[in-house]
Structure 1
Amino acid sequence: MNKMAEAKPFLASQHEPIGTAAYQHFGMELSETAKLALPIVLAQVGQITMMTTDLVFIGQLGGEAIAAAALAGRVYLTSFTFSAGLLAAIVPLAAQAFGANNRAVVRSTVRMGLWAALLSSFPIMACALGGKQILLALGQAPAAARLAQQYLFGLTGGVAPALWFLALRSFMSAVGRPEPVLWITLAAIPLNALLVYLLIDGKFGLPRLELFGVGLATTLVNVATFLASVCFVLLQRPLRDYHVFTRLWRFNRHSMRQLILIGMPISLASLMSYGLSFAASLLAGLISTRVLAAHQIAFHVAAILFMVPFGISMAAAVRVGQAVGRNDSPGMKRAGLAAMLFGMVITAILTLAVIAARFEIAEMFLGGSSRHTDPTIWLAAELLLAGAAFFITDAVQSIAAGSLSGLKDTRVPLLFAGVAYWLVGFSLSYVLSLRIGLDAIGIWIGLSIGKALYAALLVVRFLLLTSK
């Protein structure tokens, strides 16, 4: 086998230029990354589609309801992201074990991930139940805090099932079987829309629950998606061959330690990112309710676009991790660079589409309003235009971070996040919006610069590590 491996460069030099062989290897990697990323991306788009459906229904309740949902989402996601980041470590750990053909490590990693999901769900629920007090302490209006609390009450029961689903989703992706997650998500989209429709206005004799009904619908969908993922893991091969639920009560100290060491920096970096978006929403809320509503619309569009590179970043972590497990050094670098290129191209195309349809997008979120009568639509369209650079740099940083996590390099990116997001990004957002007077545009300029710096640092870090 070694002689055959050594002969490949010689054969390539005899029949084709070395550069051509390198391009072929890169093209094959790009194809494999796209093949793995496509169902993950579509599942992510499905998740954000459900969130968009919620927001469209909430928009029918008025601008105050949208602003309250924005605040509730920041409280929930900021706490939820910490646990989600911890579970993200399942992907590189299980992918490396899969590349090394070590099923025992895959199994123990997933088991500890399920336990970590359960334990970390309790502080998230505590934050949701105390959301009103948190928002009041942060200076938000009492009426908006009260409405946000209704939404958070509905979300509370679905925290643990949502985290368990994340753990099983990471397992399926790491072993190269992300398709069940896509099927589950596609089935959940109409279910979510139906439940929101029934509960928000009280159709067919049901009580009118408004924002609480939207949160309750999300909880019911989270339970359903988790149960569906359990069925796939138990029944479908090769997933069932890993026996991840066998002796679930057994504690593996080494696997939990690895999960924490790799996942904790991811959690903190993700918390900085979502904390930055939360702080940006607070800045927008300090300016006016109209600015907060427009900012929420633009940020939700950014979240929709982010689902694409986020899915690709999971594929990058899997491909890089599997290359590490195989001891394939050139494959590590190819996997990361192919994923970054793929993500940049796709995000650039989507960004152009958003710019072209920015007014129609804003009108969609504010049902019944027109750009000719509602200044919020004009402001949201301006923010979508100002966020073009933000969308692309956000894609690069996400995929570069996923590639580094595939190498189990998560501590240095955490340091980069602190510098880029807070010392640079938030400081500029605050100064430009409230001090210089650029308002919402200033917030987005600061965010864009912070994201660009973070992306550059991560790409350089990946190139340095994979060039050794």
Structure 2
Amino acid sequence: MSHAPAFPAPPHGATERAMVRGELRAMIALAAPLAGANLIQMAVYAVDVIFVARLGPEALSASSLSVSLFGLLMWSMTGLVGGAAPLIAAELGARRHAVREVRRTIRMALWLAVIAGLLVMAICAKGEALMLWTGQQPAVAARAGPFLLILSLATIPNLISAILRNYVSALGRAGIATAITALALVVNTLGNYAFVFGHLGAPAWGLEGSAVSSVLTSLAMLAAYLWVIRSDRRFRRYRLFGRWWRTDWPRFADMLRIGLPIAATILAEAGLFSGAAFLMGRLGEAELAGHTVALQFAALAFQVPFGIGQAATIRVGLAYGARDIAAIGRAGNVAIALGIGFMALTALIIWAFPRTIMHLYVDPDAPANAAMVGFAVQFLVVAAAFQLFDGAQAVAGGSLRGLQDTRIPMAIAIFGYWVPGIGTAVYLGFFTPLRGFGIWLGLAVGLVVVACLLLWRWRNRARLGLLPA
């Protein structure tokens, strides 16, 4: 059974306004479940913190450090295998029956997932040594090592699930990703409940039990995707795992060409915020705590434009494969407007109700939290200001990925985040009285520079030769 063309010819007399409305409906239908899956994934991570926090500060520190390292590696490798998304979209946009092309792309993406996963596992095997090298306390490093080793077993299942998520989303069934991520939330909650404290007849493995729960959750997600793909006739017709041993090195090279810059871009952006945390820690515990709380809400709000950016990659990629220049412009412009519009709403909420937001994380009226809350409210003011640019850079980057343009956006990200971004943060944070507020201004500067340059590149896509012939 074939799917309908992504960009059917408009009926006679159709107006551009009607076509934009149609694109808006298609974009929302794709972006909403992807954003929902991102938000649920945040809840999956939060479950680990809730259970491990009851084991004490040492266990929580070991878990937080390990998850930070593992998350950075996983996020970047997900970007690496995510190079398959624009390729799949372009193949489907070019031909409705691109069964062989999609199968070959998925096959080589799976190869790449295994190779990247083994690399991550090798790094995680040196977890304790890495913790000691970064100056962590020996007791915390000793607990982090075994935890990280177990957690690394989730790498390959997670990467394969990410590839299959792109596959079902490109075929217009992104709601499946939301449902499977919701399943992951349930499995992880039950797993932590069982293996951390020994409930439901399971052994009480403490900190390591939380890592076991994460591994089981990754396997449950992968099993769910495999079951859906095998059960649905539309997915099954692509025979994704047929002749999995056959190589297609040119396609593998294409994925590296697109995926490696995406991974580097993710590392650059993650490095900006991780670096800011280290800078904040040098100022004091209250500043670091306020930074952590404010960043948690900013990260929560970011999941929506991040989902819109993922949808933009697919919608722009479909139009790119169809060589429909007008549809490329509509898809990207609608996505950018949607992302900025949502972040404008969150900016207004932050400006109007900063202390209400604090109630999501701590008691702002408790005297013990006074200093931390004061810093967090200051930082939220800056977060409100950069929401528009954070949303813009996420969606503009996703739109450019749909054009398979990733190398120059990578250079923009590395420059913007690490030269004006971190440079401004260091100067204002340590050489002016602004301190933590100055560090957050540095974050804003980095986001503004990257957003403006990516938007400029999108607007000038034709002149820069990014469009199909």
Distance change in 2, residues 1:116/1:6 (3 Å): closer
Which residue matches 2:165? 169
AA matched with 2:69: V
Alignment of structure 1 residues 198-217 onto 2, 5 Å: 198-203=194-199, 206-217=202-213
349, 363, 367: which one aligns with 1:372: 367
1:266 to 262, 265, 277: 262
Which of 67, 71, 74 pairs up with 1:77? 71
Aligned residue number for residue 5 of structure 2: none
Which residue, out of 429, 442, 449, partners 1:433?
Answer: 429
Distance 2:80 2:109 in 1: 8
Whether contact under 8 Å (2:293, 2:376) holds in the other structure is: yes
Using the TM superposition, name which of 65-74 and 217-226 deviates more: 65-74
Query: How many Å apart are 1:245 and its aligned residue?
Result: 0.8
Q: State the partner residue of 1:18.
A: none
Select the residue among 416, 420, 430 that pairs with 2:412: 416
Superposed displacement of residue 204, structure 1: 5.0
Alignment match, 1:112: 108
d(CA) in 2 for partners of 1:112, 1:456? 34
> Any conservation in 2 of the 1:74–1:277 contact (CA below 8 Å)?
no
Higher helix share: 1
Shift of 1:290: 4.1
Q: Find the counterpart in structure 1 of residue 245 from structure 2.
A: 249
Alignment map for 1:388-399 (pairs within 5 Å) = 388-399=384-395
Residue 331 of structure 2 is matched in structure 1 by 335
Identity rate, percent: 32
Range that drifts further, 58-67 or 31-40: 58-67
User: Comparing 152-161 with 456-465, which one deviates more in the overlay?
Assistant: 152-161
2:309 partner SS: helix
Normalized against structure 1, the TM-score is what?
0.89
Q: Partner of 2:88 in structure 1?
A: 94
For 1:413-455, what per-residue CA distance to the aligned partner results, in whole angstroms no more than 9, with x for missing partners? 0110111010111111222223335333222211111011101
Deviation sequence 1:370-417 (CA, Å, 0-9, x none): 533223344334333332223332211111011001001111101101
2:305 is equivalent to residue 316 of structure 1: no
Q: Once superposed, which parts of structure 1, at least 4 consecutive aligned residues long, lie more than 6 Å away?
A: 4-7
Does the 8 Å contact 1:363/1:377 carry over to 2?
no
| Structure 2: distance between partners of 1:418 and 1:247 | 39
Corresponding residue number in structure 2 for 1:32 = 26
SS of alignment partner, residue 203 of structure 1: coil
Match in the other structure for 2:39: 45
- State how 1:138-177 maps to structure 2 within 5 Å: 138-142=134-138, 144-146=140-142, 148-149=144-145, 151-177=147-173
Match of 1:297 among 257, 274, 293: 293
Q: Quote how far apart the aligned CAs of 1:65 are.
A: 5.6
Contact (CA 8 Å) 1:91, 1:170: kept in 2 or not? yes
Does residue 465 of the first structure (1) align with residue 430 of the second (2)?
no
3-state SS of 2:148 partner: helix
* Most deviating of 100-109 and 356-365: 356-365
Bigger mean CA deviation after superposition, 71-80 or 177-186: 71-80
Give the Cα–Cα distance (whole angstroms) in 2 for the partners of residues 356 and 143 of structure 1.
43
1:19-39 deviations in Å (ceiling 9; x for gaps): xx2222222111111111111
The separation in 2 between residues aligned to 1:126 and 1:361, in whole angstroms, is: 40
- Judged with a 3 Å threshold, the aligned counterparts in structure 2 of structure 1 residues 30 and 108 are, in CA distance, closer, same or farther, namely same
Q: Is the 8 A contact 2:346 2:387 kept in 1?
A: no
* Alpha-carbon distance in structure 2 between the residues aligned to 1:391 and 1:64: 34
Distance 2:61 2:397 in 1: 31
Report the Cα distance in structure 2 between the residues aligned to 1:344 and 1:148, rounded to whole angstroms.
39
Counterpart residue number, 1:191: 187
> Compared with structure 1, are the counterparts of its residues 306 and 154 closer, same or farther at alpha carbon in structure 2 (3 Å cutoff)?
farther
Moved more, 61-70 or 316-325: 61-70
The one-character-per-residue Cα deviations of 1:336-358 (angstroms, maximum 9, x if unpaired) are: 01001111122222343345554
Q: Does 1:180 align with 2:182?
A: no
1:125 aligns to 2:121 (yes or no): yes
Amino acid at match of 2:427: V
Bigger mean CA deviation after superposition, 218-227 or 272-281: 272-281
Distance 1:53 1:218 in 2: 10
The 1-side partners of 2:294 and 2:127 are apart by 23
User: Any stretches of 5+ residues in structure 2 without a counterpart?
Assistant: 1-7
Structure 1: tracts of 5 or more residues without a match:
13-20
> SS in structure 1 opposite 2:233?
coil
User: d(CA) in 2 for partners of 1:413 and 1:297?
Assistant: 29
Query: Following the alignment from structure 1 to structure 2, what is the Cα–Cα distance between the partners of residues 346 and 458?
Result: 19
| Structure 2 CA distance for partners of 1:216 and 1:441, relative to 1, 3 Å | farther
Aligned length: 454
